[in-house]
Homo-oligomer: A and B are copies of this chain.
Amino acid sequence: MNKKRHSAIRKMAQKARTAALRLAQTNVDEKNNALLAMAGAILVNKDLLIKENKKDIQFALKQKYSAALVDRLRLDEKRIVAMAQCLKDTAALRDPVGDILETIERPNGLVIKKVRVPIGVVGIIYESRPNVTSDCIGLCLKSGNAVILKGGKEAAHSNQAIFKICRKALKQTAIPLDAIGFVSSTDRKAVEELLKLDDLVDVIIPRGGEGLIRFVAENSRIPVIKHYKGVCHTYVSDQADLAMAEEVCFNAKVQRPGTCNAMEKMLVHKDIASVFLKDILHRFTEAGVELRGDAKTRKISKRVKPATKEDWTTEYLDLILTVKIVDSLDEAISHINTYGSHHSDAIMTTSDAEIEKFFKSIDSACVYANASTRFTDGYEFGFGAEVGISTDKIHARGPMGLEGLTTYKYIVSGNGQIRI
């Protein structure tokens, strides 16, 4: 039984591989038509989606999932319209496939072009929100890739329904049905087999909690693009515009604390610490933020609890902030590179020299000067959409849009050149 299910996954990946070769040859209109057909089908099947989603919600309530999680799972009319709109928006994006990245003319007459092409077969393993299903199908197809999806069991019915609607919609289009695959099995064995199919699947993108991502990274023989967590810092220099720094830090922490690009740690230069912290710590407390800090911060404010060693590396995803007072820009840089997660880190300063040093020294995907770390996001960067955010150094770093789902090949034109 198990054996059978597992070879079914290999078969699905084989079909996806064949479909990917055909998909790489489709033109942008064919791909856009498919995305629009899926968007239409999602709207038409609104009631079915809500009915299937109710099963997941009932299961979630029975399991006593948190109210926040139940809310993330829920599909209502507004959210279904937004899912369809995301497909339409992706259709409207520029197609990066076929872009010529470089042309090299060699002395022997060879002309070498570096051309952007789809990656091939992308595996996406995700948790929670059902709209990820259609968002990822849209991004993968638009960039010319086949995709194999494996959602979490908490959204099993919703994900399956969205997938089936999308696949059926492909029938009227030039896109092969097998370009999208869905692993419905809810146990980890299925994922384990998928992660070993390195002859058929080109890249795995896990989206979800740190546990899921670590499991994927440790068990995959296929390259994985990921971020474990976002432990984002803002450093307020003694040369900062303190009014601006207050607005930016408050926004980075409070505007949406449950996201990976929210500020988790605030570093403050000793010379402006007492002036700067006085107002902002009060404002944080008013907003319900629990404050933790080092001994120096606690001397300035009694409302700050002592920070443990773990606090410096913890992503709270909540209204909690840890504050540290540092002696210098160098200390701030060293702290961020040591305890951070290489996601998004910011400096607040009016000094160009400090900005340049910070930009050069901070080993993170996104490094900011005088702006909120909350902007690390495919939409906010102008990519139109994102399939994820990477803190890896390989292939894609930071928000990953359509370009992150492509690779390149070299096409070499000659007239009989031989190697001598």
Asked if residues A419 and B370 are in contact (CB atoms below 8 Å), the reply is no
C-alpha spacing A217/B222, complex, angstroms: 9
- For residue A67, CB closer than 8 A to chain B, the reply is no
Which residues on B sit within 8 Å (CB–CB) of A104?
381-382
Identify the interface centre among A115, A247, A359, A412: most chain B CB within 10 Å of its CB.
A412
A window 348-391: CB within 8 A of B: 355, 359-361, 363-372, 374-375, 380-382
Q: How far is the CB of A100 from chain B (nearest CB, A)?
A: 12
Asked if residues B412 and A371 are in contact (CB atoms below 8 Å), the reply is yes
Which residues on B sit within 8 Å (CB–CB) of A224?
223
**Which one, B25, B198, B366, contacts A361 given CB within 8 A?**
B25
Given the interface pairs A110-B375, A375-B110, the reply to whether A398 lies near B410 with Cβ below 8 Å is yes
**Which one, B337, B398, B419, contacts A21 given CB within 8 A?**
B337
**Which one, B247, B251, B371, contacts A110 given CB within 8 A?**
B371
Asked if residues B120 and A393 are in contact (CB atoms below 8 Å), the reply is yes
Which residues on B sit within 8 Å (CB–CB) of A411?
359, 366-369
Copies held by the complex = 2
**Which one, B203, B247, B369, contacts A418 given CB within 8 A?**
B247
A145, closest chain B residue (CB) = B393
Given the interface pairs A364-B409, A381-B104, A409-B367, the reply to whether A202 lies near B417 with Cβ below 8 Å is no
Asked if residues A21 and B361 are in contact (CB atoms below 8 Å), the reply is yes
- For residue A308, CB closer than 8 A to chain B, the reply is no
**Which one, B120, B223, B371, B398, contacts A416 given CB within 8 A?**
B371
- For residue A248, CB closer than 8 A to chain B, the reply is yes
Asked if residues B119 and A394 are in contact (CB atoms below 8 Å), the reply is yes
Given the interface pairs A21-B361, A381-B410, the reply to whether A244 lies near B416 with Cβ below 8 Å is yes
**Which one, B374, B414, B420, contacts A368 given CB within 8 A?**
B414
C-alpha spacing A160/B268, complex, angstroms: 46
Which residues on B sit within 8 Å (CB–CB) of A407?
393-394, 397
Which residues on B sit within 8 Å (CB–CB) of A365?
409-410
Asked if residues A374 and B419 are in contact (CB atoms below 8 Å), the reply is yes
**Which one, B363, B370, B413, contacts A24 given CB within 8 A?**
B363
Which residues on B sit within 8 Å (CB–CB) of A371?
110, 412-418
Asked if residues B244 and A419 are in contact (CB atoms below 8 Å), the reply is no
A window 241-283: CB within 8 A of B: 241, 244, 247-248, 250-252, 255-256
Which residues on B sit within 8 Å (CB–CB) of A415?
244, 370-371
C-alpha spacing A381/B110, complex, angstroms: 9
Apart from A252-B418, A394-B407, A397-B409, list 18 A-B contacts with CB within 8 A.
Answer: A104-B381, A110-B371, A120-B393, A203-B394, A223-B395, A241-B416, A247-B416, A251-B418, A255-B418, A255-B420, A365-B409, A366-B412, A367-B411, A368-B414, A369-B412, A371-B414, A371-B417, A397-B410
**A residues with CB within 8 A of B:** 21, 24-25, 104, 106, 110, 112, 115, 119-120, 198, 202-203, 217-218, 221, 223-225, 241, 244, 247-248, 250-252, 255-256, 337, 355, 359-361, 363-372, 374-375, 380-382, 392-395, 397-398, 407-420
Give 3 closest A-B pairs by Cβ, nearest first.
A371-B414, A251-B418, A374-B419
